[in-house]
Amino acid sequence: DAGVIQSPRHEVTEMGQEVTLRCKPISGHDYLFWYRQTMMRGLELLIYFNNNVPIDDSGMPEDRFSAKMPNASFSTLKIQPSEPRDSAVYFCASTLGAGFTDTQYFGPGTRLTVL
Amino acid sequence: QQPVQSPQAVILREGEDAVINCSSSKALYSVHWYRQKHGEAPVFLMILLKGGEQKGHEKISASFNEKKQQSSLYLTASQLSYSGTYFCGSLSGSNYKLTFGKGTLLTVNP
């Protein structure tokens, strides 16, 4: 299997622009997670989906952030408008189930820089 | 609530041992350990379930102390390839949300 795929790997944009990050989970995995990683706050869960349905979005920082999962093989995280404080590495992860022993597999991440 | 990892950083010489601790103020159902190398994604190491079990992966093992709500990661006879940041993720309830600690930076020098 190719693993979790994310694009782009790097994104540099200017404040106020819209940014869309993309993720393809491992085939057959029912759960998809979006994380943000910064030096200050570490690895934070933003939102997760089960069978394409958002289950918990309590980690989404504000209304500028939105996430969708139109089908089992694709998800997007959108920031509109972007701000410099959104600069971070955004990871997508997927897992087969939601048991206590289910492993989350991370994608390579998207490094976002907002100028 | 975010689990607390200690130490924040550790420097070893090749062949030395290290212990990384992960503590939670909430009851833990399981603890997941990951290693992340600079500029890369976190990579899964192992999962510990409540019950005090120990697990091992090559020369890396871990334990789960339910009474203390703490997990410890043991790195024995460290190798250069062990360098990276180690994260613990805790699962505390029925909602499947891994909450990660801030990480422990491990540097192994020749």
The pLDDT tens digits of the residues spanning A49-62 come to 999 999 999 999 88
Q: How far is CA B46 from CA A23, A75, A101, B32, B103, in A?
A: 24, 27, 9, 6, 15
Q: Tell me which of B11 and B98 has the higher pLDDT.
A: B11
Cβ–Cβ gap A100/B49 under 8 Å: yes
Position B22 scores a pLDDT of 95
Q: Residue B53 above 70 pLDDT?
A: no
Nearest chain B residue to A55, by CA: B95
Structure tokens at A82: 């972007």
CB-CB contact of A89 with A32 (8 Å): no
Interface contacts A/B by beta carbons within 8 Å = 49
User: Model confidence at A67, in pLDDT bands (50, 70, 90)?
Assistant: very high
Give the residue-averaged pLDDT of B25-45.
90
- Using CA atoms, how far apart are residues A5 and A3, in angstroms rounded to an integer? 6
Q: Could you tell me if A45 lies within 8 Å of chain B, comparing CB atoms?
A: yes
Position A75 scores a pLDDT of 98
Nearest chain B residue to A41, by CA: B102
Max distance between CA atoms of chain A, in angstroms, equals: 41
Residue B83 DSSP class? -
Q: Which residues of B are less than 8 Å from A98 in CB distance?
A: 96
CB-CB contact of B67 with B51 (8 Å): no
Position B56 scores a pLDDT of 65
Position A86 scores a pLDDT of 97
Structure tokens at B90: 């805790």
Q: Residue A109 above 70 pLDDT?
A: yes
Residue A25 DSSP class? P
